[in-house]
Structure 1
Amino acid sequence: MRCNRRKFIKQCIALYGSLLLLPACDLKKGRQSFVSFTEEQAGCIGAICEQIIPTDEYPGALDAGVLNYIDKQLYQRFPEQKARYEAGVKAVNAYCKEILGKNFVALEWDVQTKVLQDMESNKLPEKYWQDISQSGFFWMVRQHTMQGFYGPPHHGGNKDYVSYRMMKLDYPFLVGQNRYGK
């Protein structure tokens, strides 16, 4: 079988193009894969993030990609904080399972809110929080949620410039190019 150079190059380009498209195929059908979190951890952190910035007339934390932002930052920039997230998720889920009968993510909205209010104020039983401070965990997730929601999209959050649209800022945000107070 003889193949000329032109045909060989076309086949190579077609193969290369196919390989580039492979990551775009959704093999898990609607499931997002995480680098730093297990599915259980991602569900818990996502529910906390959505409590902090809930969906209203604008998309909330989950729709803005905040969970993706946190996952990416734990993998690329702050791997030392991964253990704090693991300890926090373990503690909050242990409390919720034992006292409320379900993981945090499965609780009703108002119950999640109360758990987070108690966590923020260090009012949850200390026996679950031996490895991390409950208020420290809450504030860490809160800060990362705000960064992911309001920060530049190239860091993994603020998908489709949702926070910029919410604040009625021009996007992409260019310092010196925005017109305020017209």
Structure 2
Amino acid sequence: GQIRINPQGRNQAVRGANLARVTNDLMVKLSQFPEFDVMERAEIDQALDEKAFTSMAQGRSLPAAMRELEGADYIVIATIDDFLIRTERKPVPYTDEVQTRHFGTVESTLRLVDVHTSKLVAAEKIRLSERIREADDDAMAVSDLLDLYSSELVHRISQNLKSRQAGEDTRPARPVLDADRPKPVQPAIRKPNF
């Protein structure tokens, strides 16, 4: 999988080490599903080097050695557009305490690409807007929001691939247009008798 950051987005809190964490969390959570075999990009590169060396040493053809690596079906690409933490601090009446609440928002795009055809097989917009509970500080709020986000990615990937394997339509349901919605019935207005 590959996680990208939209450079134009509001996402400073997720850059650097936090970006690597999203990728790592995604791999850990996906690997907990028995139906997924997760291959890490660095491991694939190392395996390719080893297969090439072994095939040359044994006199086998390189394509035959590479067939052993077949099995990767999809590349996961997520682009994080916005990743924001908003903190509210309010004094608690009649005490000296201050109540702190954290709210997090993530907007991103999830894409699944078929490695055999290079065809984009799924693309979804993801928007999370959550109150982050029990976060002592901003860093903990960022960490909790990252965890929620990676869990949502795994859920969406899993649902999409399960639906795809079952032959179901994986396209999102078309939202009902205002013109197609039934108009609300206005209650009759009763006039007072004077």
TM-score (norm 1): 0.31
Structure with the bigger percentage of strand: 2
Q: Which has the higher contact order (CA 8 A, sep 6+)?
A: 1
Structure with greater helix percent: 1
Q: Rg larger in 1 or in 2?
A: 2
TM-score (norm 2): 0.29
